[in-house]
Amino acid sequence: MHNELTVAEKWHDEGRKIALATVVETWGSAPRPVGSHLVIDADGNFEGSVSGGCVEGAVIAEAIDVIESGKPQVLEFGVADEKAWEVGLSCGGRIRVLVVSLG
């Protein structure tokens, strides 16, 4: 298993523009604990996991926007949120993910 922060450092050193997504809060049933990471580059390559399933696709898409804009985003997915059903998070939990650009 790779350490996502090591991968982020390697990709950054290679000159890739990257973002780091981190689970910062969970409620109820959540597939990954607080502190889980997903590193994403501007081409959509990724390593790690913040949730699994379609939520990861939504986080990757937002991460690419964060890389382009340089503006961090807090994403929230939960069973009460219509978007949660769209991305497949219907397990009764909610997660909050911080996405920041690392260059």
Q: What is the pLDDT along the chain (103 residues), one digit of tens a residue?
A: 469 999 999 999 999 999 999 999 998 777 888 999 999 999 999 999 998 777 889 999 999 999 999 999 999 987 655 555 555 555 567 899 999 999 7
Continuous segment of H or E residues that includes residue 40: strand 37-41
Q: Domain containing 74: what range?
A: 4-101
Cα-based distances in Å from 42 to 33, 77, 82: 25, 23, 27
| Of 83, 92, 2, residue with least CA distance to 49 | 2
Domain count, the chain: 1
